[in-house]
Amino acid sequence: MNDARGALPSTLLRVDLNRGTIVEDEIPAALAVQALGGNGLGVQMLWDEVPPSLDPLDSDSLLVLAAGALTGTSWPCAARLEAIGKSPLTGIYGDSNCGGFFGPELRFSGVDAIAVSGRASEPVMLWIEDGRSWLEPAAHLWGLDTVETEASIRAQKGDPHVKVACVGPAAEQGVLFGSIQCSPGRSLARSGLGTLMASKRLKAIAVRGKRRIDVADPDGFARLSAAMHKRIRGNAAFPAVSKYGTPGIVELMDTIGRFPTHNFRTGSFEASEAISGAALRERFWVKDTGCFACPVRCDKVYRVTGGDFDGVTTSSFEYETLTALGSGVGVGDLGAVLAANDRCDRLGLDTISTGRVISFAVELFELGILHSNDTGGMQLRWGDSHMVLALIEQIASRRGLGELLALGVRRAAAELGPGAADFAMEVKGLEIPGQDGRAQQSMGLAHITSSRGADHLKAFPTLDEAGDAEGVRRRYGDAYLPEMADPQATLHKPLLVKDGEDFGAVVDSVGVCKSGGTFVMAELYWAEIAAGLTLACGEEYDEATLRRLGERIVNLMRAYNALHGVDRRDDRLPRRFHEEPASSGGAHGHVAHAEEMLNEYYDLRGWDRSRGWPTSETLRRLDLADVAERLEGLGHG
């Protein structure tokens, strides 16, 4: 760790699996100051090193794992690790973010980021321990599930505290939405980056470290961190989020009609109470757990008692999985949803994409677009938990119908031909998570502008979810009321989404958790993150600087996608959200208006209205002259 730059990332491990070499590189200080780590660093590396002509699974394709500037410090929820790469699922910019302990441990081992290129001839694993790193054969681990892999590595080392990031059988088989599972039970799931890792025959990365992270002003940083922990604990939402985690929002989402059910046919689920946060807590809760330095401890361990899935024990179980593998496929048996989550984690599958591709298949079967000769005789029906579990196994092994579903909904729809695409609930090839754009207009816009495809976390617009007028007043002022707090209004929503994306880009780069977003935005907003970074890194950050850096990261992601031909035509929601009015909850009768907000959004961003690309002027203002020149070379001004 370089003392002169405090906690800013400095050490990059370059692993070339073609040659079997590992080189320790220093991240240039000027880059660290602007990128901050995490996805700020990752997108810069993609821009510089992964040309648009390269297939995501080409051996030269790069997988970056990067901690943030605050990861591993005492800052609340500073547990995050970011994976960045060209997505095998979407073919464009991809990233994924997880908590747990792997990211902090990586930094304790003296490494801030890892860039993996090449492809090993046989499966290998990467060891990193207190400044030393080496590759070892891992053929004995290939084929093991993620839980077995972690256990085997820990047993081999004789150290139960080794932290592991590994892929499971699904990624090894080439399923396009394979995840990377990180200790303990956390998932880098979105964008199929586990499949990218497996394509390199890199089964696992194991880290152990005892180094301290240097911060520029240890006393000042410790005092501010302690105050921020206290502030989070004092937030009115703390007891509920801490007790139920993200599953605690099921009832609210169901009421407002934003709880995707039956492949987004509706936004309310008749069995929502049975799979609510309260039901989970009452029936299957074993203990609270959480990520490094987190006061919230929103994660829980659950054990199923009774029924067909008696004894299944799982954790890191989120709202998203409750909709994808519960309401989305019509399953109201909580034990079955937990069992499906457990299988996805062990096999290394993104639960969101898995659930959505299964619900897509069920709807097509019901409509007669898929037939029993496509399913090997299996009847696909809403609510059949055993069918869901069977399809998870088929997807992971790419057997039977799983061969098609392993492609994700966009490619599966293309294979199936006319009619199927109408029911493919995706944006830019990424399956839509648990937010119906008809129930919350800002979320629809967030899905279409997100760099990695459909996504709620890039912008995380929560103020209009349930009419948080006080939040709007605090962040924007009375002039933005009542519209900004109204889920159906479109006025001011482009600003809400743009601000959220810029802030999210910074948060994902410094390594702070957004799952506790209630607290991150309410208690740790621009000024607090800037103060923490200044004390940790010894660089002067203020709100204006961070806003600019967030904007810079978002523009670089957009420019990278532009190189791949992404433009305004790709910023669109599926047909269903426009043509089928919502049929339930507060959203009843509404359709999505996301595309109608694009002009205002582009204007706020300084992107041209026809293509939706950053203008040269915008890029130069953000210190991205080289990016401007490259887009100009494509005839863009």
- Contact flag: residue 187 with ligand SF4 (CB under 6 A): no
- Contact flag: residue 298 with ligand SF4 (CB under 6 A): yes
By beta-carbon proximity to ligand SF4, the closer residue of 515 and 618 is 515
CB of residue 298 to ligand SF4, shortest distance in Å? 3
Among 30-38, 448-456, 508-516, 607-615, the segment contacting ligand SF4 (CB under 6 A): 508-516
Count of residues in contact with ligand SF4, rule CB under 6 A: 13
Among 51-59, 65-73, 290-298, 567-575, the segment contacting ligand SF4 (CB under 6 A): 290-298
Among 31-39, 412-420, 511-519, 602-610, the segment contacting ligand SF4 (CB under 6 A): 511-519
Among 155-163, 324-332, 483-491, 509-517, the segment contacting ligand SF4 (CB under 6 A): 509-517
CB of residue 72 to ligand SF4, shortest distance in Å? 12
CB of residue 505 to ligand SF4, shortest distance in Å? 18
CB of residue 2 to ligand SF4, shortest distance in Å? 26
Which residues, in sequence order, are CB contacts of 219 under 8 Å at separation 6+?
A: none
- First-to-last CA distance in the chain? 41
Spell out where 130-264 has E strands. Answer: 132-137, 163-166, 180-182, 186-188, 202-208
Q: How many residues does the chain have?
A: 637
DSSP assignment letter at 128 = E
Which residues, in sequence order, are CB contacts of 232 under 8 Å at separation 6+?
A: 76, 238, 295, 296, 516, 519, 523, 524
By beta-carbon proximity to ligand SF4, the closer residue of 38 and 99 is 99
By beta-carbon proximity to ligand SF4, the closer residue of 38 and 614 is 38
CB of residue 360 to ligand SF4, shortest distance in Å? 28
Q: Compute the Cα dihedral for 204, 210, 216, 222 and give only its sign.
A: positive
The CA distance from 523 to 517, in Å, is 9
From 297, 473, 564, 578, residue interacting with ligand SF4 (rule: CB under 6 A)? 297
Site string for ligand SF4, 515-554 (x = CB under 6 A): xx--------------------------------------
By beta-carbon proximity to ligand SF4, the closer residue of 163 and 411 is 163
From 294, 427, 448, 627, residue interacting with ligand SF4 (rule: CB under 6 A)? 294
CB of residue 297 to ligand SF4, shortest distance in Å? 5
Q: The tokens of 133 are what? A: 């790193």
Burial 37-60 (b: 16+ CB within 10 A, else e): bbbbbbbbbbbeebeeeeebbeee
SS3 286: strand
Among 106-114, 324-332, 512-520, 602-610, the segment contacting ligand SF4 (CB under 6 A): 512-520
Among 250-258, 286-294, 584-592, 611-619, the segment contacting ligand SF4 (CB under 6 A): 286-294
Q: Interaction with ligand SF4 in 42-81: which residues (CB under 6 A)?
A: 77, 79
| Concatenated DSSP letters of 322-379 | HHHTTGGGT---HHHHHHHHHHHHHHTB-HHHHHHHHHHHHHHHHHTSS-TTTTTTPP
Residue pair 328/345 in contact by the 8 Å Cβ criterion? no
CB of residue 149 to ligand SF4, shortest distance in Å? 22
Among 288-296, 344-352, 355-363, 393-401, the segment contacting ligand SF4 (CB under 6 A): 288-296
By beta-carbon proximity to ligand SF4, the closer residue of 507 and 530 is 507
Element (H, E) at 123: none
CB of residue 511 to ligand SF4, shortest distance in Å? 10
Peptide bond into 482 cis (omega under 30): yes
CB of residue 474 to ligand SF4, shortest distance in Å? 21
CB of residue 414 to ligand SF4, shortest distance in Å? 35
By beta-carbon proximity to ligand SF4, the closer residue of 61 and 515 is 515
| Concatenated DSSP letters of 229-240 | HHHHHHSTTHHH
SS3 17: coil
SS3 65: strand
- Contact flag: residue 290 with ligand SF4 (CB under 6 A): yes
CB of residue 24 to ligand SF4, shortest distance in Å? 29
The CA distance from 523 to 169, in Å, is 40
By beta-carbon proximity to ligand SF4, the closer residue of 71 and 117 is 71
Residue pair 489/444 in contact by the 8 Å Cβ criterion? no
CB of residue 299 to ligand SF4, shortest distance in Å? 5
Q: Which residue has the tokens 């579903």?
A: 405
CB of residue 388 to ligand SF4, shortest distance in Å? 25
CB of residue 66 to ligand SF4, shortest distance in Å? 17
By beta-carbon proximity to ligand SF4, the closer residue of 290 and 434 is 290
Q: Which residue has the tokens 């890892």?
A: 114
Residue pair 133/127 in contact by the 8 Å Cβ criterion? yes
Residue pair 90/452 in contact by the 8 Å Cβ criterion? yes
Q: Residue 128: which of 162, 179, 81 has the closest Cα? A: 162
The CA distance from 609 to 603, in Å, is 7
From 513, 521, 592, 622, residue interacting with ligand SF4 (rule: CB under 6 A)? 513
Q: Interaction with ligand SF4 in 96-135: which residues (CB under 6 A)?
A: 99
Peptide bond into 184 cis (omega under 30): yes
- Contact flag: residue 587 with ligand SF4 (CB under 6 A): no
By beta-carbon proximity to ligand SF4, the closer residue of 1 and 81 is 81
Q: Interaction with ligand SF4 in 243-272: which residues (CB under 6 A)?
A: none
- Contact flag: residue 296 with ligand SF4 (CB under 6 A): yes
By beta-carbon proximity to ligand SF4, the closer residue of 22 and 513 is 513
Q: Interaction with ligand SF4 in 320-359: which residues (CB under 6 A)?
A: none
- Contact flag: residue 185 with ligand SF4 (CB under 6 A): no
Helices (H), 421-542: 441-449, 469-475, 493-510, 517-522, 526-537
Residue pair 508/38 in contact by the 8 Å Cβ criterion? yes
Sheet of strand 132-137, all strands in order from the earlier edge strand to the far edge: 132-137, 124-129, 202-208, 163-166, 180-182, 186-188
The residues that touch ligand SF4, with contacts defined as CB under 6 A, are 77, 79, 99, 290-291, 294, 296-299, 513, 515-516
